[in-house]
Amino acid sequence: MRNRRRTETNYWMSYSDLMSALLMVFTLLLAVVILDYRDDLSEKQRQIEEVTNVKNDIIAALTDEFKDSNVKIEVDEQTGAIRFPGSILYEFGSYNISESGEEFLEQFVPKYFGIILQDRFKDEISNIIIEGHTDNEGTYLYNLSLSQNRAFSVVETIYAEEFPNFKEKDLSKEFITSNGRSFTVPLTNEQGEYDPEKSRRVEFLFRLKEDERIQEIQKLVSEDEI
């Protein structure tokens, strides 16, 4: 009877030791998983900060370049989009660039591409978009056609033989595209009311190679933090 109790006691001691060992292994595995998760999260955040810094540097350079312009050039502080009133380039309802519009582009374009495609930034750029926008007068399709034609007329002007040459002219062809948005992205005045004059505009936008991937990473980080 005494031997049986000793055997039972030894059995339960062994089981207790086994459970303790398993608990320790589980704790170590959990610690490894947590450390890997933190490292992965830190790497994602580092990538976001790296791309954000590039975009901020480009926006700062554009803002500094055009801050003293005598034309209403607006630099979006969040996206880096440069916009100016369509009246600078076109007559109302037209997509033919005016003489004064050509003079404006001759001054603006070399400065813009000189910043965007400088050695410091060009390897980060995915594409450069010239985008046309209209007010809401008329149908969607009419304004879609008008906005597309306006954007394309800028591209035609820039690469016309008579347009003054600039350093990045050939290189820019690898990046540039154009499209129209009709009246789908209206702008408002300081009172928050729809402004048809501001809405009639042309924008120069840039996209970074990592933009889409960073958006996915930001989404994952947000989900992880929840």
- Looking at the fold, whether 15 and 116 belong to one and the same domain comes out as no
- Looking at the fold, whether 122 and 193 belong to one and the same domain comes out as yes
Ordered DSSP codes for the chain: -HHHHHHHHHHHHHHHHHHHHHHHHHHHHHHHHHHHHHHHHHHHHHHHHHHHHHHHHHHHHHHHHHTT-SS--EE-TTT--EEEEGGGTB-TT--SBPHHHHHHHHHHHHHHHHHHTSTTTGGGEEEEEEEEE--SSS-HHHHHHHHHHHHHHHHHHHTSTTSPP-TTHHHHTTTEEEEE-TTSS--B-TTS-B-HHHHSEEEEEEEETTHHHHHHHHHHHHHHH-
Q: pLDDT tens digits, residue range 160-219?
A: 999 999 999 999 999 999 999 999 999 999 899 999 999 999 999 999 987 665 655 556
- Looking at the fold, whether 53 and 20 belong to one and the same domain comes out as no
What is d(CA 101, CA 82) in angstroms, rounded to the nearest whole number? 16
- Looking at the fold, whether 22 and 82 belong to one and the same domain comes out as no
Looking at residue 222, what is its pLDDT?
Answer: 59
- Looking at the fold, whether 62 and 17 belong to one and the same domain comes out as no
Half-sphere exposure of 137 (CA within 13 A, CB side): 8
Residue 184's CATH number: 3.30.1330.60
Mark which of 42, 57, 73 sits at the end of a domain. Answer: 42
CA 96 to chain centre: 30
The reply to whether 224 falls in a domain is: no
Are the C-beta atoms of residues 224 and 163 closer than 8 Å to each other? no
- Looking at the fold, whether 33 and 130 belong to one and the same domain comes out as no
What is d(CA 50, CA 57) in angstroms, rounded to the nearest whole number? 11
* Residue 146: count of CB within 10 angstroms of its CB: 23
- Looking at the fold, whether 30 and 102 belong to one and the same domain comes out as no
Mean pLDDT, residues 63-72 taken together:
85
The reply to whether 225 falls in a domain is: no
Looking at residue 210, what is its pLDDT?
Answer: 75
The reply to whether 223 falls in a domain is: no
- Looking at the fold, whether 209 and 132 belong to one and the same domain comes out as yes
- Looking at the fold, whether 35 and 57 belong to one and the same domain comes out as no
Q: Which of 33-47, 100-114, 117-131 is predicted with the least confidence, judged by mean pLDDT?
A: 33-47
What is d(CA 88, CA 109) in angstroms, rounded to the nearest whole number? 14
| Containing structural domain, residue 71 | 48-216
Phi-psi region of 206 (alpha: psi -120 to 50; beta: other; left: phi over 0): beta
- Looking at the fold, whether 65 and 172 belong to one and the same domain comes out as yes
- Looking at the fold, whether 91 and 160 belong to one and the same domain comes out as yes
Q: What is the mean pLDDT of the chain?
A: 83
**Tally of domains in the chain:** 2
Q: Global pTM? A: 0.73
The reply to whether 226 falls in a domain is: no
The reply to whether 173 falls in a domain is: yes
The reply to whether 221 falls in a domain is: no
Which of the two residues, 154 and 48, has the higher pLDDT score? 154
The reply to whether 142 falls in a domain is: yes
- Looking at the fold, whether 175 and 206 belong to one and the same domain comes out as yes
The reply to whether 211 falls in a domain is: yes
